[in-house]
Structure 1
Amino acid sequence: MGDWGPVLIAVVLFVLLSPGLLFQLPGRGRVIEFGNMHTSAASIIVHTIIYFGLITIFLVVIGVHIHTG
């Protein structure tokens, strides 16, 4: 039986937290911009920190597991 929880959570968070796809924090003209499809070095670092925090909460603290088979 495979544990697909970490894989699924990581992929979903990676897609949702891609800078510029849904939102960009910090934006170019404002603090937050939605759906602008642009990115910057600062937003990549901020989104990386948010990703690391959420993946740690979901996988280590909560312990999400999805078993198949």
Structure 2
Amino acid sequence: MKDWAAPIIAVALFAFLTPGVLFQLPGKHKPFEVVNMKTSLISILVHAIIYGLLLILFLVILHVHIYI
């Protein structure tokens, strides 16, 4: 059996944390915007940091495993 936790978690986080899809931190006109489908360089950097921290949390600290 293979451990599918890393690819599944990485893809899910990437889909949910893409700036402008579900939310955007910081937004263009507000600190937090929902579903505006626009992005900025600072928003990309903030979302990349959140993505990296959540990956570390799930894969390194919590040792999540999904065997299929």
RMSD of Structure 2 on Structure 1 (CA): 0.4
Q: Which residues of structure 1 form unaligned runs of 5+?
A: none
Percent pairwise identity: 53
Distance 1:3 1:39 in 2: 34
TM-score, structure 2 as length reference = 0.98
3-state secondary structure, aligned to 2:7 = helix
Partner letter of residue 65 of structure 2? Answer: H
Aligned residues: 68
Q: Report the alpha carbon displacement of residue 41 of structure 1 after superposing the two structures with TM.
A: 0.2
- Higher share of residues assigned strand: 1
Q: Report the alpha carbon displacement of residue 21 of structure 1 after superposing the two structures with TM.
A: 0.3
TM-score, structure 1 as length reference = 0.96
Q: Which residues of structure 2 form unaligned runs of 5+?
A: none
Distance 1:33 1:25 in 2: 7
